[in-house]
Structure 1
């Protein structure tokens, strides 16, 4: 059975896409811990980040690195935090989270943003790429 993220890649589930290549996709988390919380995934469905081969893993991190400055310009913050948890969706992914304090990385507190707020944030990030 395809993961939630594989369904996003296939276009079966809509997402607020930020950037895409033939191997990677970045989109906003619909249950963010901070405005601009972005998920970066390989399109290939691999459950665990460290099961990815070296080239795919390195490419994922390079793709995330390219997005971080645009995210920081679009959602002003002190830093872009990076987190890999990997328990909630069985598809390797990296969280990019705008940070102004350590509390911004608290995954137990999710924001409720409207579709319009998410769309606006995604457009602002894309404009900075």
Structure 2
């Protein structure tokens, strides 16, 4: 059975995509710790980060760094923080979160009541920053699509 993330990637469940390439996608979480909180997810279903091959892990980190730089530009005064937890969905994913300090990185701070319009606006802000930094080729044409 396909994971929740595979269903999002395949368009069965809506997603707010900010990045797509042949190996990975990046989409906004529906329970952000901070505005601009996104997930870097491989297209291939890999359960745990310890099961991913070296090339895939390296690719995910490069994408996370690229997205993190865009977050830092879009939300001034923040650092891009990474969290790899892997408990909620059995599909490898890396949380990239704009943060001002470690105290902000607790999942206890996740907000499930953020209006859809606010989630869309944060994703568009990040998409704009990625385009500005020269990554337009990897920013999907539509917010809700993993296709380029």
TM bucket (normalised to shorter chain) is over 0.9
- Alignment match, 1:74: 74
- Alignment match, 1:25: 25
Give the unaligned 5+ runs of structure 1.
Answer: none
Give the unaligned 5+ runs of structure 2.
Answer: 131-148
**Contact 1:23 1:43 survives alignment (8 Å):** yes
Instruction: Provide the TM-score with structure 1 as the length reference.
Output: 0.95
**Contact 2:33 2:110 survives alignment (8 Å):** yes
Correspondences of 1:1-129 after superposition (within 5 Å): 1-111=1-111, 112-129=113-130
Distance 2:76 2:107 in 1: 20
Aligned-residue CA RMSD (Å): 1.0
Distance 1:120 1:73 in 2: 15
For 2:108, what is the secondary structure of its paired residue?
coil
For 1:108, what is the secondary structure of its paired residue?
helix
Distance 2:77 2:25 in 1: 23
Give the number of aligned pairs. Answer: 129
Which moves more between the two structures, 108-117 or 45-54?
A: 108-117
Shift in Å at residue 104 of structure 1?
1.1
Distance 2:26 2:89 in 1: 15
Distance 1:77 1:30 in 2: 23
Q: Structure 1 residues 12 and 77, CA, compared in 2 at 3 Å: closer, same or farther?
A: farther
Stretches of 4+ moved more than 3 A in 1? none
Instruction: Provide the TM-score with structure 2 as the length reference.
Output: 0.83
Shift in Å at residue 56 of structure 1?
1.0
